[in-house]
Amino acid sequence: LAHLLKYDSVHGTLEATIRAEADQIMVDGKKVKVLSVKDPAEIPWTDLGVEIVIEATGIFTLKNDGVNKKGREVRGAVNHISKGGAKKVIITAPAKEEDLTIVMGVNDDQYDPNEHHVVSNASCTTNCLAPVAKVLQQKFGIKRGLMTTVHSYTNDQQILDLPHSDLRRARAAGLSIIPTTTGAARAVALVLPELKGKLNGFAMRVPTPNVSVVDFVAELAQSPVSAEEINAALKEAAENGLNGIMDYNELPLVSSDYNGDPHSSIVDGLSTMVIADNLIKVVAWYDNEWGYSCRVADLVAFMVNKGL
């Protein structure tokens, strides 16, 4: 773990003094405790002084004990609180039975520290699409939309052809464009309820290690509308209400240029299109690793400020 923290194939070398010790990692003299416990109920968070648990294993995505989407019997994330003594849990994935799904800049105002203890930060793709959808819905109204995320490969694919519950993800990640499912578009309705039943989409996994892009096509309620009007609305939001969450760009960049970008969503203004007055396409980039990690950190700080 210490070695992987120091050296990252995508994000480079961390400029810090890092060394591994028996049960901890030292980072610039600061001790980071390392545990190896399979059951969330057995982790002594109270003894460690931990109040917020970032549940990033990808396994414990249910609030309560049950069967996850892969058909595996798993412990619920609430055990971090009920057994481990933490105060809050943030699941870094779409969750089930969570108290609230939060996308920063979109619905964080709904957080109630007295009611919401196990929360989901949704997926990186939902964090990219939701700010764009929010602006389009507020300014023009969305009748319906379809999203394709052209997504870098992830650990839920095979590096060589090997068995997988998704036969397409079973194929070598670095050798093909791989169509697969995503609930990211439908999950937008969890943070923008007025869009429930209006959005859907899927993913194309591509042989790049990081940075992804959402291609969103929607029919707007307002008609006619121009690409210039759409870009103006997105640019205005990026500079004001969604500053730091969404960015707007008109440079002719490619995916590698967005590696390390901290925004959830970067609108590619050059790619905006309109036909038949109200059928529109908006393209938005995102660093699916770093950008999402920045939002998790923002959510932690936000919850602390609001109260635990």
Per-residue model confidence as pLDDT tens digits over 255-284: 999 999 999 999 999 999 999 999 999 999
Question: Residue 76 is part of a domain; what is its CATH number?
Answer: 3.40.50.720
What's the confidence (pLDDT) of residue 72?
85
Statement: residue 252 has pLDDT above 80:
yes
CA–CA dist 186, 199 (Å, integer): 6
Q: Are residues 131 and 96 in the same domain?
A: no
pLDDT tens column, 129-155: 999 999 999 999 999 999 999 999 999
What's the confidence (pLDDT) of residue 274?
99
Question: Residue 219 is part of a domain; what is its CATH number?
Answer: 3.30.360.10
CA–CA dist 77, 93 (Å, integer): 12
CA–CA dist 9, 259 (Å, integer): 12
What's the confidence (pLDDT) of residue 119?
99
- Backbone φ, ψ for residue 96 (5° rounding): -130, 130
Q: Are residues 115 and 153 in the same domain?
A: no
Statement: residue 70 has pLDDT above 80:
no
**Mean pLDDT value of segment 101-124:** 98
Q: Are residues 23 and 76 in the same domain?
A: yes
CB-based contact 281:216 (threshold 8 Å):
yes
Statement: residue 71 has pLDDT above 90:
no
Q: How many domains does the chain have?
A: 2
Q: Are residues 116 and 152 in the same domain?
A: no
Q: Are residues 157 and 185 in the same domain?
A: yes
Q: Residue 91 is which amino acid?
A: I
Q: Are residues 91 and 129 in the same domain?
A: no
Catalytic positions, written as ranges: 124
What's the confidence (pLDDT) of residue 125?
98
pLDDT tens column, 181-205: 999 999 999 999 999 999 999 999 9
Q: Are residues 131 and 274 in the same domain?
A: yes
pLDDT tens column, 207-243: 999 999 999 999 999 999 999 999 999 999 999 999 9
Q: What does the mean pLDDT of the chain come to?
A: 97
Q: Are residues 237 and 276 in the same domain?
A: yes
> Domain range holding 135?
124-288
What's the confidence (pLDDT) of residue 167?
96
Q: Are residues 153 and 230 in the same domain?
A: yes
Q: Are residues 139 and 116 in the same domain?
A: no
Q: Are residues 175 and 276 in the same domain?
A: yes
Q: Are residues 32 and 165 in the same domain?
A: no
Strand ranges of the sheet holding 52-55, from the earlier edge strand across to the other edge: 52-55, 88-91, 118-120, 100-101
